[in-house]
Amino acid sequence: MTTRYTKDHEWVRLDGDVATIGISAYAAEQLGDVVYVELPGEGDEFAAGADMAVVESAKAASDVYAPIAGVITGANALLSTQPDLVNQSPQGEGWFVKIRPSNKAEFDALMDEAAYADYVKGL
């Protein structure tokens, strides 16, 4: 089970045929207090880079992009009542959606933990 990252600060964790997606700790910190998350429904299909979700903090709204292509198999229902889980546990309980990837090669092309850490350091 490995986690990879996009330049737009989404993370993807691949576990067999299911990928879990969320936003990174860095992104959550930049946003500040998350007050609303809008997630897609089960069965929705996204191309890599497509608008997939919206996350709103007290100060700003941001689009969340599908880091890899796939079909949504589940969304984190807890975020509708506890959006602040994104701040408290961005890479744990604050996950956004689960998808069934249509092309695992897209996952391999993303940054690994070390590369993402370097990328964030340079921002």
Partner 1 sequence: MRRAYLGMNMAEAGSPKKLPLDALWRARTSKFGDFAGYDMPLQFEGLIAEHNWTRQHAGLFDVSHMGPCFFALPKGHGLEGDDAHRKVASLVERLVPADIQGLKAGQVRYTMLLNEEGGVLDDLMIARPAEPGAAGDLYIVVNAGCKHQDWALIEAATKGEANLVRADDRCLLALQGPSAEAVARAVIDPALADISFMQVKRFDAFGRLTITRSGYTGEDGFEILVRAEHAGALAEALLAHAEVKPIGLGARDSLRLEAGLCLYGHDLDPGTSPIEADLAWTIQKRRREAGDFPGRKRIQRELELGPSRRRVGIRPNDRALAREGVEIFKDGKKIGIVTSGGFSPILNAPISMGYVAAEFSEPGASVDLMIRGQPRPATITPLPFVPHKYHRAKKGVS
Positions that interact with partner 1 (CB under 8 A): 8-10, 23, 27, 32-33, 35-36, 38, 54-65, 80, 83
DSSP characters over 85-111: HHHH-TTTTT--EEEEES-HHHHHTSE
As a whole number of angstroms, the distance between CA 60 and CA 98 comes to 25
Give yes or no for a contact between 53 and 97, defined as CB atoms under 8 angstroms apart.
yes
**C-beta closer to partner 1: residue 59 or 104:** 59
Q: Which is nearer to partner 1, 44 or 56 (CB)?
A: 56
C-beta of 32: minimal distance to partner 1 in Å?
6
Q: How far apart are CA 52 and CA 38, in angstroms?
A: 9
Least separation in angstroms between residue 115's CB and partner 1 is 18
Comparing CB distances to partner 1, the nearer of 64 and 85 is 64
- Token readout for 69 is 């292509």
- Shortest spacing between CB 39 and partner 1, in angstroms: 12
